[in-house]
Amino acid sequence: MIQKHTSKAKAGAANILEEKTIWWDDDKSCIMAVEQTLLPTEYKIVEITTVDALADAIKRLAVRGAPALGVAGALGMALSARSAPDEGFEDAVAADAAKLIQTRPTAVNLSLGVKKVCMAMENLPPEMARVMGLYSAKLIAEEDTKTCMTLGHNGARLLPQIGTVLTHCNAGALACSSWGTALGVIRSAWKMGKQISVYSCETRPLLQGSRLTAFELARDKIPVTTITDSTAAYLMQQKKIDAVIVGADRITQDAVFNKIGTYMHAVCARYHNIPFYVAAPVSTFDREAKAADIVVEERGRAEVAEMFGKTTVPKDVPVVNYAFDATPLSLVSAIITEKGVLYPPYDFKDL
Ligand code: MRU
């Protein structure tokens, strides 16, 4: 179950650049993660000691963001192997894998992380599978950080020397094991000396933009202003935005799946001739799939109909709450990956 980890729990803690969002603790033999639902007021690290607790944390968005979900899936399988009995080991691990994958169907990294660790354990006796599973999960976590740093470096040159960038949701350190994808690009540009300021869309209904992105950037002292999602078009019309940059949960042959609202920004950016960039690791590409094949996660009514402890929608009125939307690749100016920057017409074969 999830418990408070008091010794590391601290509000407004040290520089997030030096910190991990999710990792394995060898002494405790469990996952440690930032409890993201408490931000921005409380920065707390929690111990996740069972697959059920991890599945719950993912569903509640305590652990979230595509690359972080990939790491969570991988570490979750190490957790599963640790607790699975020798007898029936493979069945127990397979059941846990299925449980984790179904928690969030749209972000491809989650199932990829789970599957990679399952493959590393395949056909091994339980004792060896546990060692191999943990080794491969830790490697996935380490590689994620390196990937984000490289991706950030690759994308930084696309941003203006002095300018204002709009982002949606949170594609930062909190959405990865550290550094971030879209925010990784912004961080790299900032580190290079570019004077970037950021408009962070609040990102209804769960406010990842105002709670998490604004938190991360403010802590790094990168100028950030929070806006409501519906303010973005007006700022573009006022020529106050030089580029839009977002992350991705899955990139198919024809579309980028990202937080609901992303498509709206892409349409507005095209209308106003503003470049629209997507920053994502190669692991986010689903080369075989088209947008129509993808299940878009729908979430509960309460996220929209209950705000700040109040009911905000009449009880008989239905609510639609898609977590993601699909932006056609025709609206994307470039896709920034750790292997380089892709431009239209997109061809993912060589990735
Ligand atoms: O529902 P969330 O908060 O997991 O959605 C996250 C996003 O949409 C991010 O933009 C995406 O995962 C990219 S993270 C680098």
Weakest mean pLDDT among 9-18, 37-46, 274-283: 9-18
Q: How far apart are the first and last CA of the chain?
A: 39
Dist. CA 203–CA 112, nearest whole Å: 26
CB of residue 184 inside a 6 A radius of ligand 1: no
CB of residue 176 inside a 6 A radius of ligand 1: yes
List 334's β-bridge partners, or say none: 277
> Which pLDDT does position 60 carry in this prediction?
97
19: confidence class by pLDDT, cuts 50, 70, 90: confident
Among 246, 259, 264, the mutation site with the greatest number of ligand 1 atoms within 8 A of its Cβ is 259
In the predicted structure, residue 3 carries a pLDDT above the cut 50: no
CB of residue 57 inside a 6 A radius of ligand 1: no
> Which pLDDT does position 272 carry in this prediction?
98
CB of residue 175 inside a 6 A radius of ligand 1: yes
308: confidence class by pLDDT, cuts 50, 70, 90: confident
In the predicted structure, residue 190 carries a pLDDT above the cut 90: yes
In the predicted structure, residue 17 carries a pLDDT above the cut 60: no
Q: Which residues form the catalytic set?
A: 249
Q: Ligand 1: distance of its center to the CA of 176 in Å?
A: 9
* Region 159-179 average pLDDT: 97
In the predicted structure, residue 133 carries a pLDDT above the cut 60: yes
> Which pLDDT does position 31 carry in this prediction?
98
At 237-251, the pLDDT tens digits run: 999 999 999 999 999
Among 178, 258, 338, the mutation site with the greatest number of ligand 1 atoms within 8 A of its Cβ is 258
In the predicted structure, residue 9 carries a pLDDT above the cut 50: no
Q: Ligand 1: distance of its center to the CA of 183 in Å?
A: 12
In the predicted structure, residue 12 carries a pLDDT above the cut 70: no
Q: Ligand 1: distance of its center to the CA of 159 in Å?
A: 21
In the predicted structure, residue 4 carries a pLDDT above the cut 80: no
> Which pLDDT does position 11 carry in this prediction?
38
351: confidence class by pLDDT, cuts 50, 70, 90: confident
Dist. CA 109–CA 283, nearest whole Å: 6
> Which pLDDT does position 10 carry in this prediction?
39
The answer to whether 229 and 204 have CB atoms below 8 angstroms apart is yes
In the predicted structure, residue 7 carries a pLDDT above the cut 50: no
CB of residue 171 inside a 6 A radius of ligand 1: yes
Q: Ligand 1: distance of its center to the CA of 172 in Å?
A: 9
> Which pLDDT does position 344 carry in this prediction?
97
Domains detected in the chain: 2-149 (1.20.120.420), 156-342 (3.40.50.10470)
The answer to whether 332 and 310 have CB atoms below 8 angstroms apart is no
At 144-165, the pLDDT tens digits run: 999 999 999 999 999 999 999 9
In the predicted structure, residue 16 carries a pLDDT above the cut 90: no
> Which pLDDT does position 14 carry in this prediction?
46
CB of residue 216 inside a 6 A radius of ligand 1: no
